[in-house]
Amino acid sequence: MMRIAILGATSQIARDLIVSFSAEEKQHLHLFARRPDEVAKWLASAGLSGRYPVDDFSEFAKQKFDAVINFVGVGNPAQAVAIGNSIFDVTLRFDELVLDYLKTHTACRYLFLSSGAAYGSGFNEPATRDTPAVVAINNLAPHEWYGVAKLHAECRHRAHPELHIIDIRVFNYFTRTQDIDARFLITDILRAIRDKTVLKTSADYIVRDFLHPSDFYGLVRGLLAAPPANAAVDCYSRAPIDKPTLLAAMQEQFGLRYEITEATVGVNATGSKPHYYSLNTRAADFGYQPGLTSLDGVLIEAREVLLLASESVGV
């Protein structure tokens, strides 16, 4: 049995992974968070009460683990804006917590939730294995702080080739448990459908690659099962989707009404990224094979989001 520490168990992507792991008995999870009571309440609501121990971070170093997965951070553009420059301190603090642990538990694996933003804020083209990280060092803007914090963490990890660390760069992730009030294009779309309003969106052409929870789970399982390594992998689905195709699909499937406007709409907390996805398929070297396209995953999860929304208002 593999003993796995989940750091930042209040994050949505962490919770989805915990639910996925709960279907099997081969892993023993120990959950850590700044608000353990909140995690315990969530476990009860998910039908997992008492299934996993929950503690604050002060208990982490006292335990022995085969793997640590670090989810600590922000997963919402508005949160990224609100947290401001403290993103550097938060990222460093919890990353060093794990790195110190690895120095005395050298066989332990470490999966760090990084971001596609570590490449920089450009993305006029999708990332590839040869794409360099670009940092405007002489003119660093606040929307770049999040990506730079992740880049700094990745640099620290590569500086310890003797440790088993893999950085997982998440680009776009969508789940039925997503906070529908978050300011992403996909949540803006779902609110418009739910509220029967007209979505106002810019004419900007963008391409996104939405990772489904099942494929994220498959990626994590593959990384934990593969021979130990010190590397970084990008997340990807079977195929990305562009904005016009996404809008048309949501109109066809759910009756979305939308209007193209000239003004920029939304929150660009990490910068405008026309092609925010990756063609870097190094994850395949670890056995990862995505099962769903972006559109497949969005439609599956959107149906559940909208069904729950309709049930909550008694429709």
Flag whether pLDDT at 265 surpasses 60: no
Q: What percent of the chain has pLDDT over 90?
A: 81
pLDDT digits (tens, 9 = 90+) for 154-182: 999 999 999 999 999 999 999 999 888 88
**How sure is the predictor about 315, in pLDDT bands with cuts at 50, 70 and 90?**
very low
In the chain, what are the domain boundaries? 73-312
Flag whether pLDDT at 263 surpasses 80: no
**How far apart, in whole angstroms, are the C-alpha atoms of residue 31 and residue 10?**
9
- At residue 164, the pLDDT reads 98
Flag whether pLDDT at 268 surpasses 70: no
Most confident of 63-67, 145-149, 261-265, 306-310: 63-67
Mean pLDDT of the 279-293 span = 98
Identify the sign of the CA torsion 195, 197, 198, 204: negative
**Which class would CATH give 73-312?**
alpha beta
**For residue 54, how many other CB atoms are within 10 A of its CB?**
23
Mean pLDDT of the 108-128 span = 94
Q: How far is CA 182 from the centre of its chain?
A: 14
- At residue 273, the pLDDT reads 87
Flag whether pLDDT at 77 surpasses 60: no
